[in-house]
Amino acid sequence: MILKAMAGILGLWPFIGFYWGKQKADIFWEEKCKAWSLPKGIGTTESLTILPLIDWYTKNGELTGEPGVSYLIKTDHNTILFDLGFNEHNEHPSPLLRNMSKLGISLDDIDTLVISHPHMDHVGGIKNQFKKTFSLSKEYVDLSDKVIFLPPGMTHPDFNVIQVHRPIRIARGVISTGPIYRSIFLGGGLFPMGFTPEQALAINVKDKGTVIIVGCGHQGLDRILELVHQLFNKSIYGIIGGLHFPVTESRISKLDGKIQGQKLFGTGKLPWDPITKEEVMSQISNLKSYKPSLVSLSAHDSCDWSIETFKEEFGPNYRELVVGQKITI
């Protein structure tokens, strides 16, 4: 404790935490993730639609855009809410609730809730990030009738939850990939980012293949693809969501844009070593090797340059990711 305090004073602790987390994340990947296999009897779904309820761009001015994520995923038998948006100004009703009501979505329609990772733009605000919990709005919203899947370390004081430590079946045809960890600067116990587990969904669509749904993409696109390929051992049909490519700008910017949140802190690299165009191009070429038929990149944690580049590179297989616009598989 004394040593930690001293290191903190010297400003060293964030670096110690960052490198220590990096080591731990790599060991978890090598020893755990690479040994995982597909849960038995997951089944398939014939239908699949994804309706973004929160993201950066919106279909029209009636809907609220945020640098956060919440997607409504419908299969043959289930309706899953994936993440809960940012609610940056701690409002009630939250932007998510407002968008849901404008889009005619009721909470009763939803049977399952999945949180990708414990960051503010996915758990409904910074307060929740600090407490490692989640909320749908500033005021209490009852979610006790939902089946709730959280990454390791997250809880909720009022609801029964399932913490996901490995790939598990979420619903018929739907699995969580299990958590992949990333060490994020600033971390190491002084700040709430740090050593971050993130789970994605992988959905087994009949006659098509696997569709991956990602929150922030801290896992690294290469690791997500490798893991899903290892689990399903068949083609990847599509990938939808946040992949964290803030090359030219961040959506979360403070102090008149001088602090570029996602550029500095979400990439798994140090703040003075931001993600480059070359790195994005190399991730794109790796993704192309899986021959996806559908690619849709969230603008909540990627800049317009990355969105435009994805559009060019994937051509007719690229789909806009916009609040209020359904993606049908």
Interacting residue ranges for Zn ion, rule: CB under 5 A: 119, 121, 216, 301
Distance in Å, CB of 198 to Zn ion, minimum: 7
- Contact between 56 and 299 under an 8 Å Cβ cutoff? The reply is yes
Q: Give dist(CA 287, CA 292) in Å, integer.
A: 8
Distance in Å, CB of 204 to Zn ion, minimum: 25
Cβ proximity to Zn ion: between 7 and 190 the closer is 190
Cβ proximity to Zn ion: between 195 and 237 the closer is 195
Distance in Å, CB of 301 to Zn ion, minimum: 5
Q: List b or e across 285-296, with b for residues whose CB sees 16 or more CB atoms inside 10 angstroms.
A: eebeebebebbb
Cβ proximity to Zn ion: between 173 and 266 the closer is 266
Distance in Å, CB of 182 to Zn ion, minimum: 9
Alpha helices in the chain (DSSP H): 2-9, 13-31, 95-102, 120-123, 126-131, 221-232, 261-265, 277-288, 304-314
Report the amino acid identity of residue 56. W
Cβ proximity to Zn ion: between 42 and 136 the closer is 136
Determine the length of the chain: 329
Q: Give dist(CA 162, CA 150) in Å, integer.
A: 6
CA 275 to chain centre: 18
Cβ proximity to Zn ion: between 66 and 301 the closer is 301
Cβ proximity to Zn ion: between 66 and 121 the closer is 121
Distance in Å, CB of 263 to Zn ion, minimum: 13
Q: Encoding tokens for residue 238?
A: 């599509």
Q: Give dist(CA 201, CA 167) in Å, integer.
A: 9
- Contact between 212 and 224 under an 8 Å Cβ cutoff? The reply is yes
Distance in Å, CB of 195 to Zn ion, minimum: 13
Cβ proximity to Zn ion: between 76 and 279 the closer is 279
Cβ proximity to Zn ion: between 74 and 301 the closer is 301
Q: Please, which residues have CB within 8 angstroms of residue 103's CB and are 6 or more apart in sequence? A: 51, 53, 63, 324
Dihedral sign of CA atoms 327, 134, 180, 307 in order: positive
Distance in Å, CB of 120 to Zn ion, minimum: 8
Report residue 254: phi and psi, to 5°: -115, 165
Name residue 54's beta-bridge partners: 70
Cβ proximity to Zn ion: between 175 and 216 the closer is 216
Distance in Å, CB of 302 to Zn ion, minimum: 10
Q: Residue 120: helix, strand or coil by DSSP?
A: helix
What stretches of the chain adopt beta strand conformation (E)? 49-54, 70-74, 79-82, 112-114, 147-150, 162-163, 168-171, 174-176, 180-184, 194-198, 201-205, 209-214, 236-241, 253-254, 259-260, 294-297, 327-328
Report the amino acid identity of residue 210. T
